[in-house]
Structure 1
């Protein structure tokens, strides 16, 4: 089970967006178009001869994303389906790697029926605990994931037949696929391993992209809950520098640097005291392949230091 979200700081202002660094040219173009979404890959279907699906890293930030309409990233997630970001048709299933499920070795949840909604946080408003996201399980994708990982030497892979969806999964998904009609299964992260391990784990999952499975990593581009600030505070230097480095590394195709972020990135340990919310990015990046093209899909901040930077990874041809 992943770490619980810390109790909200009353001065942190989960519902407000803090001052962000100057937007990139890509972001300015998106703002002019009135959308947070990139245009590449729209309308992709899963018909005969369709290209392999892109993979994505989503910064899900605060659980309040589920109900607070003033969080900018909420509008990005709500635009996901109308803009056909992952294709004109919904995926056959979703494999989601969440920073809120940590195990010693890989584990998948094999749910036959509907997923339960896990409230793995405390101290939030009562309406948060009344939300439900009963998406169907995807036991076939879970067992296929296990098969691929064990074939690649990542076994043994545990099957969890009881665990539902943690908030790293259901909070963004309830905005992206609000009908809760796309089957979902989860894959855990191993915080005792490194970025290179999770990148290679992702590479083992690449065949799923050709099978109509949407691979999503859900975490945060920066995630230091002890360093969050009040609403309206400027983004601290350590957060902006790490976030900027990550964007440059991904868009520049420097996968090796991303794998070794603790030694390559500025303020790596400050941005991620624990790597649980960063390893989902490595899995999604690895699943897209070594020459994958990265695209910044959304960028905003809340609580001063919490980055909602989210990326698309497009496989080469």
Structure 2
């Protein structure tokens, strides 16, 4: 069933091998995006990626084509040959900066050289393989908290009325030191407990609990030793609004602890 253009999303992009590994369940989910999830073609895409972490909010202002950034090491050679030449979205970058400034985020930087990191291009190459939609990235500030990122999302909410698809890209459980490559199909109990807590909190609309997940969620620090992959979720929620409805659109856990749980948020005005 197609969703309305005003929906926002949080996509768990998991491992960079999502780009080539056909055995990863989430890959099939993302490949079916235009058919099963989101039929409408957005005017442009704003990606908040856990792989761009800065002191203050920063947008990439690319006038031509986004470069493909290979911000991972020691993976199979074919992964470094993949390209996702999506156009830049300088007008969207300007609008993001304008909205953030208007909401009191007085210091917003521009990066005129940075392309798309793998938190953006890996899922997008599966979702929109033609690479014909302009893409802008916005960074996270991992030295701050969930409420701050929720408020970033609230400031960006008007973009939904302007044909912009807002996607937070991270991982619902992200502890690279706790990956278990011998797990097979088994899931580590603590990872499942956090993943289920997050699902229940989102589906129940307990967004304040998610904003304060460090105090509310079981195994919060173990699930996210560093919050960079979690804060894109808060931006997606904030952009949808406090009365939005959450829907789990994909759920799978690989290598014991790496959650690919992905969510759609439909605002009450959609």
Aligned to 1:247: 199
Which residue does the alignment assign to 2:82?
Answer: 131
Q: How does 1:1-317 map to 2 (within 5 A)?
A: 39=1, 42=2, 44=4, 53-83=6-36, 85-86=37-38, 88-231=39-182, 232=184, 234-317=186-269
TM-score for the superposition, normalised by structure 2: 0.98
1:249 offset after TM fit, Å? 0.2
Q: 1:259-305: CA deviations, max 9, x gaps?
A: 00000000000000000000000000000000000000000111110
CA RMSD of aligned residues (A): 0.9
Secondary structure at 1:100 match in 2: strand
- Larger of the two Rg values belongs to structure: 1
**1:106–1:155 contact (8 Å) kept in structure 2:** no
Q: Distance in 1 between matches of 2:238 and 2:160?
A: 12
Moved over 3 A (4+): none
Structure 2 distance, partners of 1:80, 1:295, is: 15
Structure 2 Cα separation of the partners of residues 43 and 145 of structure 1:
23
TM superposition shift of 1:89: 2.8
After TM superposition, the score normalised by the length of structure 1 is 0.83
Q: Runs of 5+ in structure 1 lacking a partner?
A: 1-38, 45-51
CA distance, structure 2, for counterparts of residue 90 and residue 310 of structure 1:
20
Distance 1:239 1:132, change over 3 A: same
**Residues 34 and 40 of structure 2 are in contact (CA less than 8 Å); yes or no, is this contact kept in structure 1?**
no
Partner Cα distance (1:193, 1:43) in 2:
32
Deviation at 1:237, TM superposition (A): 1.3
Contact 2:47 2:137 in 1 (8 A): yes
Q: Which one has a larger percent helix, Structure 1 or Structure 2?
A: 2
Structure 2, gaps ≥5 residues long:
none
Task: Report how far residue 43 of structure 1 moved.
Answer: 6.0
Q: Which moved more, 1:248-257 or 1:52-61?
A: 52-61
